[in-house]
Chains A and B, each alone.
Chain A
Amino acid sequence: AQKITQTQPGMFVQEKEAVTLDCTYDTSDQSYGLFWYKQPSSGEMIFLIYQGSYDEQNATEGRYSLNFQKARKSANLVISASQLGDSAMYFCAMRGDLSGTYKYIFGTGTRLKVLA
């Protein structure tokens, strides 16, 4: 069965510092995609970054980068130079091919608080 695990319910980081949010996954699919979404207190789900299982390089999007370690089945999100606006809930998600339905599953999330 496919599963996403986020072991950090909450994290604190000082403004302007970097922070790593952990995500491990389990899948038997050979081809899959890993996503990170941000959910501010306003509730909307905002796409941040994507990593494909066959991508050789770690994905980067501005201050976001994904530390992808395929052998360890981890896809940690790194936020550099944290800003107060980064305070939000962060979800790791995976899309795999479960019987051809391409279901997306989410982890339980990590609540990040950036301190001034």
Chain B
Amino acid sequence: AAGVIQSPRHLIKEKRETATLKCYPIPRHDTVYWYQQGPGQDPQFLISFYEKMQSDKGSIPDRFSAQQFSDYHSELNMSSLELGDSALYFCASTLNEGLPNEKLFFGSGTQLSVL
């Protein structure tokens, strides 16, 4: 079965550069979540999209932006990168039917290293 696909798998950038992370949800999933996980930490919610509209916003810095496209894939754009942005970035998708049992399916994550 198709899973959530994230690219790239690894990304190395320098301070003040920009980065774009991509996420392709499971087919027919209409909701995408982005999480940031620092070393040894729990995933922190950044932002989510439902039916191509932003549905919720978490601790996402103003330097970051994201969107969901007509084919439901999503991109996280990160500008003016800082050392503290080094983390594992997860995308997760689900089919949102308003039920509490809708589990998140995670991608393998993008490991971002800012030097």
Contact = CB atoms under 8 A, between A and B. Distances in A.
Interface residues of A, number: 27
Contacts, number: 62
B48 interface: yes
Nearest to A111: B40
B45 A104 contact: yes
Interface in A16-66: 31-33, 35, 37, 43-47, 50, 52-53
Q: Is the interface of B mostly helix, strand, loop or mixed?
A: loop
Contact of B109 (A33, A43, A103, A104): A43
Contacts of B66: none
Interface string B100-115: 1111111011010000
Contact of B101 (A33, A97, A109): A33
Interface of B: 33, 41-43, 45, 48, 55-56, 58, 88, 90, 92, 96, 98-106, 108-109, 111
